[in-house]
Structure 1
């Protein structure tokens, strides 16, 4: 008879055993994943170390993750736990196959995290333009368009410090507080100007707000303004929390909870690199994955330059990992 209390004690023993190689910061995370597995353990009346392949698939689906990389990480934690259980003699003799092994389970990742789960995390240029039509507020339109076009920085510093005076319209470039000079298009310039002239906040998308409930923007040196008392000139950029709150409002308007700065910025970076290589008739997938030999990628240094030009410190290797889940959507 399966005893959940004993199963918990077993996992605590594993986390305290020298065999468990993880540091003190990672162990609480593993403990939470163990805790989240208990419902499935009770359902199948067995410890996860005794799960069959079908049971492991159901367990991994229960995490309701929208990232295949997260599922791979969970598998790696449980894989080590299985090895410890096997060493300690806890694994039943009729089930000594480790179904948390990545080589065994990787073919099932598409079933565990279907491609449609990932679609909302990758935003194409056409989808971005359609999102612009989901709000009357030009400051919101400009916010997501600017992030897609690499205007972000640490703690949103490039975005919140942006002023109309930073624009060089003739050369279609923008000077950023970080020292970067970025090429922009006509739509960027149009949205930027209209955002700076916006009078009140439209949090409800294309639903007209009641005039009594309108939140009027303050006068400000900056393109993105706070709202409140309009009588005082605002000479400080808006706090990061305001940007994050407005992003949540936008998520509701477009019914996409994955519309956030991280996914917008990453999607913009993909679009940027994709266009550069397609001008040379090289597909994005070939640019990212073509190898010279077993270790070296053909366009590694060039892609790293493009990533840095976009304003990111990410390595090409990390970029490759970030897009692994969605390469089918990009291609």
Structure 2
């Protein structure tokens, strides 16, 4: 947390466990924006607060209102306890003023063209480029964009890749993913990879990767008692996607906060737009069968809620990018 001592003092006044966790969550969410502005949220002016809310409250109005309520309470406490001489500028802001298109632009990728531009920047060939680590990382990010779930990615076997048909068979579901020549080239490298080059105290050192059936394999030094036949931990995937997003931001200065889910949703939203169909037609013909294939016990209530959320996301996606 930014200004952690002050925020922890505030948190110590919260007795309800759910409220305590909610405040922790929102403080963590706005931390990087506080660092960007170099000030605590209680010191920000209206324009700065609007920028924070634009980028940090998601695409749903209820999230915006909840975040504003939590932060307003924190700023009230700061004023009452002499932590700031500022007014509570949240009282001057309406949730309707928050520009959701900025959130969408930060969290989603417009199209495959923008995705390739981001890949080129994040995984660009420079003096520090190490193909033994960067190629697997790039492939993980690309597979997220194609639509594979994190667990599917780490459980992919070399035999799941059909280089002639240009498809990857899911290790979990009865489906295949059509993939690009670039992905196939990266798959071939990973399938044949035997070692990784790592930075050491006196230069680079080589470390063998496990010899097993999986496309992505652990380094021997990371096993920590696990069998050499063990797959990667699926938590590796979010870390690689975050590193990809951070590398893009560092290189360009353009704010992005891309996650695995947002990558997958970005491609889905683009596919809906490119199909030329209405949202409802595409949902019924493509998205709903995929949901039921992955989770046959998905209830009608959950289906309708998913339809409602995706429709709102798609409307905002179109407003933002087209």
Q: Give the TM-score normalised by structure 2.
A: 0.60
- The structure whose RCO (Cα within 8 Å, separation 6+) is larger is 2
- Distance verdict in 2 for CA 1:167–1:122, change over 3 Å: same
8 Å Cα contact 2:155-2:171 kept in structure 1: yes
Task: For 1:240-279, list aligned pairs within 5 A.
Answer: 240-255=234-249, 258-275=257-274, 277-278=275-276
Query: 2:192, 2:207 → 1: CA distance?
Result: 15
Q: Does 1:227 align with 2:219?
A: yes
Q: Deviations over 1:109-159 (max 9, x none)?
A: 22xx663x543422221232234441533212211111111111xxx2211
Larger radius of gyration: 1
Shift of 1:299: 5.6
Matched, 1:217 2:209: yes
C-alpha offsets along residues 45-81 of structure 1, whole Å, 9 cap, x if unaligned? Answer: xxxxxxxxxx777655455743443664242576799
Counterpart for residue 195 of structure 1? 190
Q: In 2, distance between residues paired with 1:310 and 1:147?
A: 18
Q: How many residues align?
A: 256
Deviations 1:188-225 (A, max 9, x none): 32221122223444789xxxxx8525555333321111
1:329 and 2:315 equivalent? no
> Which ranges of structure 1 fall in alignment gaps of 5 or more residues?
1-7, 17-22, 45-54, 83-97, 205-209, 289-296
Spell out the pairing of 1:53-132 with structure 2 (5 A cutoff): 59-61=49-51, 65-69=55-59, 72-76=62-66, 105-106=95-96, 108-110=97-99, 115=102, 118-123=104-109, 124-132=111-119
Distance, in Å, in 2 between the alignment partners of 1:214 and 1:253 is 25
In the aligned structure 1, how far is the partner of 2:56 from the partner of 2:71? 24
CA contact (8 A) 1:304 1:316 kept: no
Q: Give 2:233's aligned residue.
A: 239
Higher helix share: 2
